[in-house]
């Protein structure tokens, strides 16, 4: 995607990685002045348009050809296991396959399951924070935001704690492969190596669970796999078990880091939250809206027509700028302001419609547990560097700081 202003490439510029919102605001103004501008012809930035697109049955989530299409024909032939793995992931499927996969996996994130997990999440948060208590300056990403989601989802899947670093590496490879604007043969080959390693590991873990089933999610997924003809295939089981850890890990890490960063950059809101902990749920949602850990998602037009007043052509990729929608001034008064009491807050950070994020209740639970523990146990928490010195992940789809040095 290109144009006079560089299209999506603008989001990879150093300043935009740290703060993409001025780019979105510029696109919003450009759309008002010139709706046909090439730079934004396939990018939706308004809340109403993004929300409608997320529910539009003419827009397909089947993005596997687009993901693999930038590779050479020789690489695509050699990387068939990678293609099959990506094709089996829930979020890249449309109904009816999506409906079947979601039904088989949905129980893992039910209100009952999340309530059961709550004390475990609080214990994990407390244990991680005990390691840094009284430690002066520490990296909130490395010590808390990065390990916590992996520990939580690892516990749900029954992955031994000692093996989680492997999953973390596989998760990062998948995120950068799917979210990269510059996929090439070498990156894809590295991703396939990760896929094959993960599949071999999960095959062994599944064999152990079959011999000795437990209450974990992997045992439940195996029951779905072995139960009837509509159950999970081996590839679906492996791909979605890995993706659960990936999605639950990367996005939750970014959400935690972005929310804490926003609070530390807005001491008045931090003080307000300390004075009124009842604001915790709205503060978590404001962290989701203001930070938008998932900035972009995409759909493929399945037919010709019209979308948001523009021609829709079959096969065209449409980018939905969730980050831009979450700062739309037509929906959110003073959208760049971080407000822990903001209501209403119709954020789109978890998507909308049939693809609404399965892990949303778990992400909210983790965020609330982290904020509660920091409010209670770290009254002097502060940024240890100037915000302008932070390094940001070099992807357009996901947003978060690589490190977040804090003092306590």
pLDDT tens, position by position, 166-208: 877 887 787 778 766 557 898 899 989 999 998 999 899 989 9
Peptide bond before 258: cis, by omega within 30 degrees of 0? no
Cα 79 from chain centroid (whole Å): 25
Query: At 5, is the pLDDT very low, low, confident or very high (cuts 50, 70, 90)?
Result: very low
- 374, pLDDT greater than 90: yes
pLDDT tens, position by position, 36-69: 788 888 999 999 999 999 999 999 999 898 888 8
Nearest to 102 by CA among 111, 93, 114: 93
What residue spans define the domains of the chain?
Answer: 7-407
The full 3-state SS of 252-286, as one line of letters, equals HHHHHHHHHHHHHHCHHHHHHHHHCHHHHHHHHHH
pLDDT tens, position by position, 208-263: 988 998 777 788 778 766 655 567 888 888 888 888 777 667 789 999 999 999 99
- 297, pLDDT greater than 60: yes
CA atoms of 389 and 398, how far apart (whole Å): 19
pLDDT tens, position by position, 70-115: 899 999 999 999 999 999 999 999 999 999 888 877 766 777 778 8
* CATH code for the part of the protein at 7-407: 1.10.630.10
pLDDT cut 70: percent of the chain above it: 95
């Amino acid at each position: 995607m290109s144009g006079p202003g560089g299209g999506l490439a603008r989001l990879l510029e150093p300043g935009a990685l740290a703060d993409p919102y001025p780019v979105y605001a510029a696109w919003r103004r450009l759309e008002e002045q010139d709706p046909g501008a090439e730079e934004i012809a396939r990018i939706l930035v308004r809340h109403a348009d993004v929300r409608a697109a997320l529910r539009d049955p003419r827009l397909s989530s089947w993005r596997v050809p687009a993901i693999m299409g930038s590779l050479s024909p020789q690489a695509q032939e050699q990387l068939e296991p990678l293609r099959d793995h990506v094709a089996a992931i829930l979020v890249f499927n449309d109904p009816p396959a999506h409906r079947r996969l979601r039904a088989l996996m949905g129980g893992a994130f039910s209100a009952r399951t999340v309530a059961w997990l709550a004390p475990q999440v609080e214990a994990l948060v407390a244990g991680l924070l005990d390691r840094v208590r009284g430690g002066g300056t520490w990296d909130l990403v490395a010590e808390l935001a990065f390990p916590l989601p992996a520990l939580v989802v690892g516990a749900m899947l029954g992955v031994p704690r000692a093996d989680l670093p492997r999953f973390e590496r596989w998760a990062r490879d998948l995120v950068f492969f799917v979210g990269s604007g510059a996929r090439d043969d070498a990156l894809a080959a590295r991703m396939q190596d990760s896929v094959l390693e993960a599949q071999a590991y999960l095959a062994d873990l599944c064999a152990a669970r079959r011999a000795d089933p437990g209450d974990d999610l992997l045992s439940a997924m195996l029951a779905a796999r072995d139960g009837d003809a509509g159950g999970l295939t081996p590839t679906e089981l492996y791909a979605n078990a890995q993706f659960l850890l990936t999605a639950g890990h990367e996005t939750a890490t970014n959400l935690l880091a972005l929310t804490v960063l926003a609070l530390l950059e807005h001491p008045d809101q931090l003080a307000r939250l300390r004075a009124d902990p009842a604001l915790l749920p709205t503060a978590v949602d404001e962290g989701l809206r203001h930070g938008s850990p998932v900035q972009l998602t995409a759909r493929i037009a399945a037919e010709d027509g019209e979308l948001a007043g523009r021609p829709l052509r079959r096969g065209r990729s449409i980018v939905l700028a969730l980050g831009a929608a979450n700062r739309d001034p037509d929906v959110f008064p003073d959208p760049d302001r971080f407000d822990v009491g903001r209501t209403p807050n119709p954020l789109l950070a978890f998507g909308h419609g049939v693809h609404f994020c399965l892990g949303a209740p778990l992400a909210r639970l983790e965020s609330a547990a982290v904020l509660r523990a920091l409010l209670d146990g770290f009254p002097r928490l502060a940024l240890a560097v100037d915000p302008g010195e932070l390094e940001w992940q070099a992807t357009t789809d996901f947003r978060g700081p690589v490190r977040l040095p804090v003092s306590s």
